Structure 1
C-alpha cells in the first residue's frame, strides 16, 4: 500500500457508515493547530472535498501573516516556556538581529528556500561567525517547521 502524500488529510469511516475527512490547515496566530472536517456518503466523495480544500488556500488566513509577526508570537508563546532563559535570550537576539531585518517583511507563505539561502549568504559575507550563521538557520528552520 502506498503512503499518502503529506498534507492530504485523514479519511476514515464512522460506525454509522458515513465517511469523514479531516485536514490540518496549519497553526493560527495563537499557535494552536486548525482543522477542517468534511463528510460524505463515500470515501471518494470525501477525498474529492479534501482536494477542493487543498486547491483553495490551504493556509487560510495565515498566508497573509508577516514572518516578523509570526516569529515574535512564536518566540513568546512557544519558545519562552520551553527554553532556559539564556537559551531564549540567544534565540530572541538571533531573531531580532539576523532574521527580522533581512526577511521579516516577507509574508510567511511566500518565503522560499532561496530567500533563506540568500539571507544566510549575506550573514556569512558580512564576516559573521559560522556559529551565527548556524543559529540563524536553526531559528528560521524551527519557526517554519513549527508552522507546518
Structure 2
C-alpha cells in the first residue's frame, strides 16, 4: 500500500498486477464514509480516472439530485459500485441506461406514479423473464433507497398492483423430470457440466471456481468459497461468492459417486487444457455442446439452479433451508427461483373431498 502525501487516498497493487487507487469521497446519506476505487495499469492511469470522475461532477452532493435519472447514477455509485462484482455492476448499469432512464429518467420524484412503472414493464414485455426480473430488482433498489433518502414517501415499484403485474409476467423455466433423468443418466463427455449444476445448485461461476480442497468426501460436504467473475480490466478472476459469504452443501449419493469418478487434473474440479480454471465462455460452450449433440431442449446453466431449488421445495425442503443452500441474502429471492407447477395445482385440487 502506498498513501498519497495529502492523505486523501492510497494505492494498492492487486494480485492480477493492476493498481487500485482508493480515495475518500465524502459522507453518504447514511452518515458513513464513502470510499471510491479507481483501477489502472499504473498509478498515473488511476489518478487520471479519478480526475475525470471529479470533473464529471459525479461526486456532487446528494442534495443536488433533481431527477430519477440523476438518482440512478448516484445509486450505482453509492450503493453498488464497490460492493458488488464488476459483472453485476455492469448489468445494473446496462438496465439503467437502456431501459430505466429512457422511460422515467427525465421525471422528478414528485411526478412518478405507479402507472409509470406498469407502463415501463408493459413496454419491455419482449424481454426474457430473467431480464425482467433483474430490471425489477434494479428498480426496486433505486426506489427503496430513494425513500430512505426522503426523495419520495413510497416505493412505486412495490405497490400491490405493480408487484402483482410483475410477478405474473416473470415465470421461471426449469427442466422437466424426464429431461433431468436423461441428463443425469447420460455418458456424453460434456454431460458432466449440467450434472454438477443439477446436483449442487451452484451458480456457474461458483462451480468453475470449485477446488478439490473444497470437497470433503469423507464428510460428504462441499464448501463454496469463491466464484469466477469478469475482471474490471478484461478477462476473468477468482472472487468471493456473490453474497461474500462461505456456505456448505451436502452431497447426495449420486453426487458423491460422480465426484469420485472425476479425474484430478489440477487444483480445480473442472479445468482447461492448462489445468487452470475454465472461463465462463469455455464452460458455456461445452455445456451447450452436450444439449446440441444429444438433441434435447436447451436451457441456460442458471436454469439448472432454478431446477435444483424447485425440486428441493417440491420434495418438502423448507424455504429457509433452500435459501441457505443457494446462498440467497433473503427468502424473497428464493421464492422467485421456485417454480409453480400447474400439474401440482391440479393434483392438489383433485383431493378436495366434495
Fold equivalence (TM over 0.5): yes
Asked which structure has the greater RCO (Cα within 8 Å, sep 6+), the reply is 1
Superposed CA offset, 1:4-37 (max 9, x none): xxxxxxxxxxxxxxxxxxxxxxxxxx74149xxx
TM-score (norm 2): 0.24
Superposed CA offset, 1:17-68 (max 9, x none): xxxxxxxxxxxxx74149xxxxxxxxxxxxxxxxxxxxxxxxxx96971011
**Matching of residue 32 in structure 1 with residue 54 in structure 2:** no
TM-score (norm 1): 0.55
SS at match of 2:73: helix
Residues 75 and 92 of structure 1 are in contact (CA less than 8 Å); yes or no, is this contact kept in structure 2? yes
Match of 2:128? 129
Residues 80 and 88 of structure 1 are in contact (CA less than 8 Å); yes or no, is this contact kept in structure 2? yes
Which has the larger share of helix? Answer: 1
Quote the offset at 1:120 in angstroms.
0.6
Superposed CA offset, 1:99-129 (max 9, x none): 00111101123212211111011100xx221
Q: Which runs of 5+ in 1 are unaligned?
A: 1-29, 35-60
Match of 2:203? none
SS at match of 1:109: coil
Match of 2:115? 114
Closer, same or farther: CA 64–121 of 1 in aligned 2, 3 Å? same
Residues 65 and 71 of structure 2 are in contact (CA less than 8 Å); yes or no, is this contact kept in structure 1? no
Any runs of at least 4 consecutive aligned residues in structure 1 with deviations exceeding 4 A, and if so which?
61-64
In structure 2, distance between residues paired with 1:65 and 1:31: 17
Match of 2:83? 82
Quote the offset at 1:84 in angstroms.
0.8
In structure 2, distance between residues paired with 1:112 and 1:83: 29
What number of residue pairs does the alignment pair up?
91
In structure 1, distance between residues paired with 2:64 and 2:110: 5
In structure 1, distance between residues paired with 2:88 and 2:108: 27
Match of 1:139? 138
In structure 1, distance between residues paired with 2:88 and 2:104: 22
Quote the offset at 1:137 in angstroms.
1.3
In structure 2, distance between residues paired with 1:74 and 1:84: 15
- Cα-Cα RMSD: 2.3
The within-5 A match list for 1:48-87 is 65-87=66-88
In structure 2, distance between residues paired with 1:100 and 1:76: 16
In structure 2, distance between residues paired with 1:142 and 1:91: 10
* Greater Cα radius of gyration, structure 1 or 2: 2
SS at match of 1:81: coil
In structure 2, distance between residues paired with 1:100 and 1:69: 9
